[in-house]
Amino acid sequence: MKSLIAAGLALAALASAPAHAEDIKELNFGFISTESSANLAKSFEPLLKDMEKAIGIPVKPFFVGDYAGVIEGMRFKKVDVAWFGNKSAMEAVDRAGGEVFVKTAKPDGSSGYYSLIVTNVDRSDINGLKDILDCSKGYNFGNGDPNSTSGFLVPSYYVFALNNVDPQKCYKRVVSGNHEGNLLAVANKQVDFATNNTENMTRLQQTRPAEAAKIKEVWRSPMIAGDPIVWRKDLPADLKAKIYTFFMTYGRNGTPEEIEHARAVLAKTSDGWGPFLASSDAQLIPIRQLELFKAKVKAQNDDKLSADEKAAKIKEIDAKLAALEDQQKKLPAM
């Protein structure tokens, strides 16, 4: 553990923070809008209070109505650290000067979750992928935020792209919502089915068990990496070191009472977390591959492209996929 923290501190010291970093008086912590701001604030407040004590400056929550708002907040330096999904973290890294440094984990130390498509428990006609992809039924579909990994990117590839189905053309109506909103829409029969994930299903079971009991799972994805925590690359190195130390020691180091307290806080954060795990931008390689695979399938099925245009586009995508594969091979074994 000590070697892990030492390595993290060394990385933080070498990070691309400016030589004369500004004196930051408070830290703004962004949250993707998986549910209402009030629910997020209640869930994360104890963790932020402990972080505030550890790093020595106020930590303020930053809530907006969609994922893009948090990404833009980081881009314009209104957000310093943020909890993202993998897709939104990729956008923050590429467009907002962000960098992944840790990821969430479960109390047993495992890290990862699954994208879902869910429907109302009363729907005996919707039980699997074949039913979801039946375009003759005029279904109403609850899609996720375009920057959501589990609510949008993963089902877009595995459910729709691989089966050559365009939701906008297939369904009578497609509405976008956050994870909590989509679950409640399914429970209340406002949509026929919707995207979601195992984390938010667990969260709803904890907060609104009556509504959760009205929902059944009809499709599950391959495992997705745990949620990344991202900081601005240009934060001062000494502040990054304090932040990294807090995350990597929280629930692990300290007196028995301190460890017990931190574990209890984590267990009540989001869908129930354990101590954080070290991570990096390399966590996002599978998400980049998924985006490219989706683009490749789209190009292969695009009748508007000539044979030469299609071949050129696919060749370009294959080159990018090969570069990512090479990058992945050079990574140390986890």
- 2 or 262, higher pLDDT: 262
CATH fold for domain 2-110+225-280: D-Maltodextrin-Binding Protein; domain 2 (3.40.190)
Check residue 20 and give its pLDDT: 41
CATH of region 113-224, choose from 3.40.190.10, 2.60.120.10, 3.30.930.10, 3.40.640.10: 3.40.190.10
What average pLDDT score do residues 297-326 get? 92
- Return the domain boundaries, the chain: 2-110+225-280, 113-224, 286-329
Check residue 328 and give its pLDDT: 83
Straight-line distance from the first to the last Cα atom of the chain, in angstroms, rounded to the nearest whole number = 15
Contact 145, 84 (CB under 8 A): no
* Residue 8 in this model has a pLDDT that exceeds 80: no
Tell me the C-alpha to C-alpha distance, in Å, between residue 55 and each of 26, 43, 63, 260, 317.
10, 20, 21, 20, 43
Check residue 332 and give its pLDDT: 73
Contact 128, 218 (CB under 8 A): yes
Would residue 112 be called left, alpha or beta, if left means φ above 0 and alpha means ψ between -120 and 50 degrees? left
Q: At what angle do helices 67-75 and 86-95 cross, to 10 degrees?
A: 30
* Residue 16 in this model has a pLDDT that exceeds 50: no
Check residue 226 and give its pLDDT: 93
Q: In CATH terms, are 2-110+225-280 and 113-224 the same topology?
A: yes
pLDDT in tens, 55-103: 999 999 999 989 999 999 999 999 999 999 999 999 999 999 999 999 9
The hierarchical CATH code for the domain 286-329 is: 1.20.58.90
